[in-house]
Amino acid sequence: MGFKCQVLVCTFCLVMLLFLQETRAGIHSSNASRLNGRKKVSGCNLFQGRWVVDTSYPLYDSSSCPFIDDQFNCQKYGRRDNQYLKYSWQPDSCKIPRFNGADFLRRWRGKKIMFVGDSLSLNMWESLSCMIHAAVPKAKTTFYRRDSLSSVTFDGYGVTLYMYRTPYLVDIVRENVGNVLNLNSIGAGNAWKGMDMLIFNSWHWWVHTGRSQGWDYIRDGSALYKNMDRLTAFSKGLTTWGRWVDQNIDPSKTKVFFQGISPTHYQGKDWNQPKKSCSGEAVPLSGSTYPAGAPPAAAVVNKVLRSMKKPVYLLDITTLSQLRKDAHPSTYSHGSGTDCSHWCLPGLPDTWNQLLYAALIM
């Protein structure tokens, strides 16, 4: 009887062990599904909704944040209207939590977060730094700024926000013919390893031409091109980035996000006002759709993310940003011309970071 009891006990233990393993696997799978390139978190599409007037915004004042570049500091450079600061994003199917900088620091204590991309990544990095700083204004910070790598560390929490500047994600290398955009190479990737969170972005620079494009030729394998259809080139380069993520990222250690395509507002015909640009615009578009529809680059991003093996969460900020023709620096920045590409701080990128926060905790 003793032996039979032992067998029964062992059998019961084995069954319970298998049950617990399956339960844990299910929990792991559930958590992983939150970072799979889809738009929904806990059954809510965070990115389908509308802008509503909210007088509790902005979350910080530009004069009190030491991290804002002059190109984004619209208030400093003479923008007097402030209605563009008084909107919050309201998804159709749920309410999103208000950003809590102190909670963010507690959750990510001792962690390293890196934004990787172009000046729109810089826009978002500075925004998050300001949002956290506003929550703990007396916290000691270490601010390090260089061309390719910058960082803000909240010393008492051991949280570091990095910004790695690489507009194309893939490499520009020097060859005999000049600077070559290599669609198959990511030499900078070693700097991205060891992070607890990565937020990638690219597209803005792919459409630049002439002296502003930063390269003389494009390399695709052994073939060298003087030029290439930019969407095709972007697709090839982003596919190389996707392979890098699949080969180098452990999802149990690093959360990966892709910051969706940030729109421009140079052509008023895109919102049925052909004589307009972002200049002088003071209010968002109403509703939840943009007359011109999604930019073609957004389809490229979706296709690449669907083809990847490792989970990447798409911060699908394109449509909600298209509605914000009022939120650009326009002529209110340190520089010449009209900027309908970047965004004022405080401003729209704060919402991108609020949605990042929601995706992490919901």
Backbone angles phi, psi at 170, to 5 degrees: -80, 170
Whether the Cβ atoms of residue 237 and residue 183 lie closer than 8 Å to each other = yes
341 is catalytic: no
334 is catalytic: no
Whether the Cβ atoms of residue 338 and residue 331 lie closer than 8 Å to each other = yes
117: nearest Cα among 161, 159, 144, 149 = 149
The token pair at 217 is 């030729």
Burial zone of 231 (CB within 10 Å; 0-12 exposed, 13-18 middle, 19+ buried): middle
The token pair at 47 is 């990115």
328 is catalytic: no
Region class of 272: left (phi > 0), else alpha (psi between -120 and 50), else beta: left
Q: Which of 88, 127, 342, 350 is catalytic?
A: 342
284: nearest Cα among 248, 319, 336 = 319
234: nearest Cα among 254, 208, 264 = 208
C-alpha–C-alpha distance, residues 359 and 45, integer Å: 10
Q: Which of 62, 88, 118, 119 is catalytic?
A: 119
* Strand partners for 88: 52
DSSP of 322-362:
HT-TT-S-BT-SSSSS-B-SS--SSSHHHHHHHHHHHHHH-
Q: Which of 118, 316, 339, 350 is catalytic?
A: 339
Residues marked as catalytic: 119, 339, 342
